[in-house]
Amino acid sequence: MNELALVGAAFLAGLVDALVGGGGLIQIPALFAVFPAGEPAALFGTNKFSSIFGTTSAAIRYSAHIQVPWRAALPAAGAAFVFSYVGAMTVALLPREVLRPLVLALLVGVAVYTQMRKDFGAVDQNRSHGSADMLMATGLGALIGFYDGFFGPGTGSFLIFLFIRFFGLDFVRASSAAKIVNVATNAAALLYFLPHGDILWHLAPLMAAFNVLGSQIGARLALRHGSGFVRQVYLCIVTALIVKFSYDTLA
């Protein structure tokens, strides 16, 4: 029964993550619910192992059907890979809880901005990305990568918002770029978790398989229904993150 709950959570996490990010909002609580006395590092490592297969699968599907903005995505992914590992190493040095109110405020700002700007991410501006954009992508990738390694929740949602805001993408292309960066941050996290044996190997491959299945369906829905649909899902996930952060902050 526990395995059934976890593979179901992995499937749903893959579906949501392929659309707008935020799969960890589903998969991590499921792991902690099934293993309330489990070692946190092993649960987070299992989540990353499952997620990297889903994000990679979604990235491949997007790249096969749309023009991925590689000149923005690749510099961001490279910087995110390095700084995600740095963020993971910094966890033991700084109290992560000090970030929670700031992240909550940022999520509220993202939700309000997206809701008020009805045209936000609706149409791709088809901008050519030059050296200045690549430099900006590197800086944003470093910032988000460190955040993902150090804390994590909402990484995919922040990435999509930034790719739309600073690179003129629509929601579908921004989601495709976010998947490239997510692959890099997940890989960096696994480099930290794997040498320490922080993976539940009896569950991780099965969860990964269902995460891939969900991600394929999520990417297909995004490609079929377009940016308007993805925007609505995005607002739902950001709202769910706001509710969760509000509860955790007050608790």
Structure tokens at 239: 């709202």
With a CB cutoff of 8 Å and minimum separation 6, the contacts of 70 are: 180
What local confidence, expressed as pLDDT, does residue 92 receive?
60
Q: Summarize pLDDT for 143-186 with one digit per residue, the tens.
A: 999 988 887 778 989 999 999 999 999 999 999 999 999 999 99
Q: Where are the domains of the chain?
A: 2-250
Distances (CA, A) of 228 to 64, 128, 145, 172: 21, 23, 27, 9
Query: Cβ of 144: how many Cβ atoms within 10 Å?
Result: 26
- pLDDT tens profile 179-206: 999 999 999 988 888 887 779 998 999 9
pLDDT of residue 103: 85
Residue 223 and residue 183 in contact, taking contact as beta carbons nearer than 8 Å: no
139 pLDDT more than 90? yes
Please answer whether residues 137 and 76 qualify as being in contact, where contact means their C-beta atoms are separated by less than 8 angstroms.
Answer: yes
Question: Torsion angle, CA of 228/105/51/32, rounded to 10 degrees?
Answer: -130
pLDDT at res. 247: 87
Note the pTM of the prediction, 2 decimals.
Answer: 0.90
In the chain, % of residues over pLDDT 90: 61
Confidence of residue 96 (pLDDT cuts 50, 70, 90): low
Residue 1 has pLDDT above 70, yes or no: no
Dist CA 199 CA 203 (whole Å): 9
Q: What percent of the chain has pLDDT over 70?
A: 97
DSSP state of 195: G
